[in-house]
Structure formats: C-alpha cells, structure tokens
Amino acid sequence: MIYTVTFSPALDYVIDLDELRLGETNRSQKESYYFGGKGINVSTVLTNLGIENTALGFVSGFTGSALERGLKEAGLKTDFIHLEEGITRINIKLRMKQETEINTQGAAITESKLEALLGQLERLKEDDTLVISGNIPNTLPDNIYEIMLKRLGGRGIRFVVDATGMLLKNVLKYRPFLIKPNRSELEELTESKIQNDADLEVGAKKLQDLGARNVLVSLGGDGAYLLCENGKQFRVPAIREAVKNTVGAGDSMVAGFLAGYMRKKDYEYALKLGIAAGSATACSEGLAKREKIEEFFQKI
C-alpha cells in the first residue's frame, strides 16, 4: 500500500483576470477550484492510474469537510485526522499574464494530533510506501520528517521524499527509496552548478553517497534524469505541448514513477510513466487523468 502525508491540505481557488488593479473592484473572467496539497496531488494521480493508496493528513472546519468529501467523490481513499479549531486553507491563485499566488497558513496542528498521525504511521508494514512532501507548517517541529523516518526505519518501508534544502538533506541518512529535487534544488544541495548531463550525474551521485537510493531530478521543459540504486542512469526529454498549468506537475511525476515501479519494478519504465504523468498535468487544466497520461506515454 502507498500512503501519502499532507500536513496542510488546501482548497486552491483559481481566479482568471485580465489584470489586477490594486485598490479597485476587479471582476474575474472565470473561477475554478481544486483540492490541493502535494501529497493529495500524488494520491489523486495514483488513483487516476488505478494504484491503490491512502491519503493521510489533517483537515478542519467547513473547508476541510468539503475537501474530504470531494476527494472521496473523486475515488480517493482518505484517513484524515480532524483538527478541532481553524479551517483547512484556502489558497488564492490569480492568473493573468503572470500568475500570483497567496498561500495561507492553515489551522494549527497540536501535539496530540501529531501523535495521532504518528500512531497511524506505526501501522505501516514491510513493502509499504510512504510519500512525504512539501514544507512543514510552523506549528510542527522543524525535524518532523526526521522524527517520522527514524520511527519507521528498519521495517522495509519505502520512503519517498520530495522536499527542499536541509529538510531533504537531513533525511538522506534514512536511505529514502526516492527523492525528487529539481535542477536548482540539486545545485543548492550539492553546492555546484548543473550545466550538462555529466553535472547531473555528479550531483545525483553526491546525494546517493549521502544515502538516497534513487535520485530523480525534474528538469521542467527538459524532462528528467534518473540515477538508480543499481548504478544505471536514464535521461528522458519532456513532451513538447502547450503548457497550461505547472501546479502539481512535479507531484504527478512522483505518482507516475511510483505507479510504473509498482507495475513492473523497472526503473526505466517508471521514469517514462513519471515523465508522461508530469507532462500530462502540465498540459491539463488540473491534475492529469489516466487517458491523458497513457496518451503521453505513447509519445515518449
């Protein structure tokens, strides 16, 4: 079973405008909303690809109820912990010639509720996969990722970590099955410039030496690079189509990779399905559906 954790889910409210005039009344051209959060994005695409998984995390208030209900209606299996105060975040995304985002704080997670989540994770067993991703809310300990992986270490659980900076670097000692930095994050982590494929290999190898088993580097419009734990490496270009939306593309890549690995235990196949899922989301209004992902897979 695959489990994803989203500490602070959100309703992403997207507003299309011609322009934003500060201090005046602005009228939208179109509005839409999506159920957001990096772990939830991974769970959604996994579900779209027919891979069983459970989304864990915290919800609260009327927005949390709407999010939980909407995910279940979309076919997702969830096991959220309900916070007693506050509401699940509403993030505002203003789309014009440039996109502006307002990401809100969300409800506070108490120590007792955090312990409840850690108790859920204690039920994971050998061959399960745990996906943790994104930033940490300011009401949680800075080392919460380390706390989680330390408690679950040595049980044969696959850890997938999609995080930045020291948040990622500090958990490499727990030998995560997969990490997914982008080019700039890889440069920051290795303190080196990535200018070509040889630099990608050197940078990814540094993270392997620190403990990562498989290093998947997302390269945006240039596709992705994978350094496998068996020493093999693969480089796959992106699919060139008009980009409509970059939100969730990286999460979709993680989901596609995991779906491919679960199907065939083949890293090259997993990378190609990851690229297809990420590219399909980038070319969709929301997260990619199975048909779009399979269409894109055939183009690789």
pLDDT per residue as tens digits for the range 265-283:
999 999 999 999 999 998 8
Q: Are 61 and 11 in contact (CB under 8 A)?
A: no
Q: Are 45 and 284 in contact (CB under 8 A)?
A: no
Determine the 3-state secondary structure of 46 from DSSP.
helix
pLDDT band at 135 (very low <50, low <70, confident <90, very high): confident
* 79 belongs to the catalytic site: no
Q: Are 94 and 20 in contact (CB under 8 A)?
A: yes
What are the residues facing 281 on neighbouring strands? Answer: none
| pLDDT-wise least confident of 33-47, 61-75, 185-199 | 185-199
Q: State how far the Cα of 101 lies from the Cα of 12, in Å rounded to an integer.
A: 10
What are the residues facing 95 on neighbouring strands? Answer: 16, 99
- Residue 242 is predicted with a pLDDT of 63
In this model, does residue 146 exceed pLDDT 90?
yes
- Residue 282 is predicted with a pLDDT of 85
Q: Which amino acid is at 26?
A: N
- What is the pLDDT averaged over residues 72-78? 96
Count CB atoms within 10 A of the CB of residue 293.
27
- What is the pLDDT averaged over residues 185-211? 92
CA atoms within 13 A on the CB side of 1: 12
Closest CA to 163 of 133, 143, 191: 133
| The one catalytic residue among 128, 209, 251, 266 | 251
Output b/e per residue, 67-81; b: 16+ Cβ within 10 A. Answer: bbeebeeeebebebb
Residues of the chain with pLDDT > 70: what percent?
99
- Residue with structure tokens 């709407």? 66
DSSP string, 149-176: HHHHTTS-PEEEEE--HHHHHTTGGG--
In this model, does residue 105 exceed pLDDT 90?
no
In this model, does residue 246 exceed pLDDT 90?
no
